[in-house]
Amino acid sequence: NPSQIYFGVTPPISLKGATEEEIDITNKMMEYLKDHNQFEDEKASKNREIVLGQLDKLVQRFVYLASLNHGFTEKTAATCKGKIYTFGSYRLGVHGVGADIDTLCVAPFHVTREDFFEIMPKLLSERSEVSELTPVPEAYVPVIKMEFGGVPIDLTFASLHFSSIPEDLDLIDPKILKNISDKSVMSVNGSRVTDEILRLVPNVSTFRDSLRCIKLWAKKRGIYSNSLGFLGGVAWAMLVVRVCQLYPNAVAGTIITRFFRIMYQWNWPQPVLLKPIEDNPLRFKIWNPRQNPSDRLHKMPIITPAYPSMCATHNVSQSTLTIMTAEFKRGADILEKVFNNECDWSELFIEQDFFSRYKYYLQVIISSDNLDSQLKMKGLTESRLRLLVTKLENVEHIILAHPNTHSFEKVFSCVDEGYANNIRNGIFPETEAVNNGGHEDIIYVPESNEENSGEIANMDSENSQNRVKVCTNSFFIGLLIEKKPVGYVGSYKVDLSWPAQDFMEMIKSRETPGSETSKIHIRFHKNSDLPNYVFGNKINPARKIHSSR
């Protein structure tokens, strides 16, 4: 098999090893990453291992109890073993400080998903190390989220065709997928993809160093988010793997340079593949643009290597592809300077200045009177926001709609409903204060604002019980609008009301029980009237200074 002599779908571009200069530049990169807290210390890694050990014990207990419930004798139940696997950034060995551990609990076939969501949360809640326990059984990939011994954990579940899970079971074997539920297929998929990734990379340690660099860069540049139409952790990992395959003997610094060049010049929608797509023996849905019209719509396909292969980037839109391509170009230019000794690595990681890039912005404000509803609404809105982006980029004269990966959370307690309504419509105190020239009493008080807490007490402490609490989250979308041709008189009519209305209707129609009181509102901003808090409470640089009356 000729594909055995190299990794990937084409032969490498270069087999060259590293020059001294490349090693030197790589060392500097590693120094930067270490100095910026991208590696966990020994103690924290040990703690993760301890947590995983304890979690494994709980899984064994769970399988035992579930087996008893299904009528097994104590003796037989004791022979039924489960197993936990890890995936995600921890499994890849690129997790940062405070990252979660993505874990998969694999149980024998008689143990059901209902058992998992019934028994496991009970066992976990009995443990003093566990906090923020949140089962999410209705998710696309059902999960129990929690903090265990200070470590965030995502725990998913699959049951496989075994009466007891063998100690050495390798999930990479596609036969394990036979006749198991769709949810179990999706759940083992995370783990199978991570395992394949590690097998398809020529040098794991170079891959890890490179991926850490790319992840930090993508976060700083605001392009790390699967749900908003950028790339998530798995997709970034796969891009780095592909470049590692093309330069199997290069060091990380070189991989990064090549990464930006190759990705900037990539001929999308040509897919990035880490290996040939496998046949389809079990007739799952796999990515196949020749057969599936919906797969032909993918703008930036990056295909997962484990059977059944899927596109990890189906959320990418024209706008987000344009934004990422510009970032690849920026990265390529900076790396060229790094290699010419004209600048250092820190330049690569400068944070994007989202609120200075565009002249127009939309603010999507969601609000609720309690945190529980608000969390649900926030998740719902975040998972749909890309649909608003797609609607916007199709509006005439709009070139680009850019969703900000950072959202803003504010909690207010208002003296009455009138003020609460203003908040729900996104009219926050400081915006008001500017609008009426700063002549205003403190009517709304951000709850978490320490500085103002003294003033709350002074104002009217006896009335504070009657305050109306409003929790808000704001998402911003930057809009690039076509320049008017020279000599064009008048202004463009850019009608945002339909996309905005459509989006709000969609969110409202998805309301879940408890979220009836939640509100969604969309505001349009010129850059000069963006609120100061998006600039970290510095004055909006685009705001003209008003002379006071």
Q: Which residue has the tokens 């000794």?
A: 341
Site for ligand 3AT in 173-192 (CB under 6 A): 190
Q: Report helix angle 252-265 to 20-35, nearest 10.
A: 90
Q: Is 88 annotated as a binding residue?
A: yes
Q: Could you tell which of ligand 3AT, Mn ion, none binds residue 234, using a CB distance below 5 to 8 A set by kind? A: ligand 3AT
Q: Which of 378, 384, 380, 382 lies closest to 366, judged by CA?
A: 378
Question: Which one, of 61, 215, 53, lies nearest residue 126 by Cα?
Answer: 61
Residues 103 and 52: beta-carbon distance below 8 Å: yes
Token reading at 323: 């934004």
Q: Is 219 marked as binding a ligand? A: no
CB of 102 to Mn ion, least distance (A): 4
62 in a labelled binding site: no
Task: Respond yes or no: is residue 100 known to be catalytic.
Answer: yes
Q: Is 229 in the site for ligand 3AT (CB under 6 A)?
A: no
Q: Is 89 in the site for Mn ion (CB under 5 A)?
A: yes
Residues 215, 11: Cα–Cα separation, whole Å: 26
**Sheet hosting strand 101-107, strand order edge to edge:** 83-87, 101-107, 151-159, 143-148, 130-136
**Which helix (H) or strand (E) covers residue 531, if one does?**
none
DSSP state at residue 181? -
Nearest-approach distance from CB 227 to ligand 3AT, in angstroms: 7
C-beta of 155 vs 366, nearer to Mn ion: 155
Question: Is position 331 annotated in a ligand binding site?
Answer: no
Q: Which of 375, 150, 336 is nearest to 257 (CA)?
A: 336
Strands 151-159 and 101-107: parallel
Report the run of H or E that residue 408 belongs to, with start and end: strand 408-414
For residue 41, with 0-12 CB atoms within 10 Å meaning exposed, 13-18 middle and 19 or more buried, which class applies?
exposed
- Does the annotation flag 253 for ligand binding? no
Which of residues 95 and 402 has its CB atom nearest to ligand 3AT in the complex? 95
Q: Does 529 engage in binding with ligand 3AT (CB under 6 A)?
A: no
User: Are the CB atoms for 441 and 517 separated by under 8 Å?
Assistant: no
Residue nearest to ligand 3AT as judged by C-beta position? 233
Give me the residue label for tokens 């199997």. 248
154 is a catalytic site residue: yes
3-state helix, strand, coil in the chain (%, to 5): 45, 15, 40
Contact call for residue 95 and ligand 3AT (CB under 6 A): yes
**Binding string, residues 231-250; x marks residues near Mn ion by CB under 5 A:** --------------------
In the complex with Mn ion, which residue's Cβ is closer, 26 or 315?
315
Residue list 145-174, contact with Mn ion (CB under 5 A):
154
68: Cα separation from own chain's centroid:
39
By a kind-dependent CB cut-off of 5 to 8 A, residue 190 interacts, out of Mn ion, ligand 3AT, none, with ligand 3AT
Q: Looking at 12, 82, 88, 142, which residue binds Mn ion (CB under 5 A)?
A: 88
Which of the stretches 22-30, 57-65, 95-103, 359-367 binds Mn ion when contact is defined by CB under 5 A? Answer: 95-103
89 near ligand 3AT, rule: CB under 6 A? yes
**Given the complex with ligand 3AT, which of 87 and 428 has the nearer CB atom?**
87
Is 142 a binder of Mn ion (CB under 5 A)?
no
Number of residues binding to ligand 3AT, judged by CB under 6 A = 13
87 is in an annotated binding site: yes
Residue with tokens 């930090």: 216
Amino acid at 457: A
Q: State which of residues 234, 262, 470, 471 lies at the interface with ligand 3AT (CB under 6 A).
A: 234
**In this structure, are strands 398-403 and 468-481 parallel, antiparallel, or unpaired?**
antiparallel
Q: CB 238 → ligand 3AT: shortest distance, Å? A: 11
- Which is closer to ligand 3AT, CB of 154 or CB of 196? 154
Known catalytic membership, residue 41: no
- State both tokens at 41: 């210390």
The amino acid sitting at 317 is S
Residues making contact with Mn ion (CB under 5 A): 88-89, 100, 102, 154
Catalytic residue ranges: 89, 100, 102, 154, 215, 224
Report the interface residues with ligand 3AT, using CB under 6 A.
87-89, 95, 99-100, 102, 140-141, 154, 190, 233-234
- Which parts are annotated binding residues? 87-89, 100-102, 154, 215, 224, 233-234
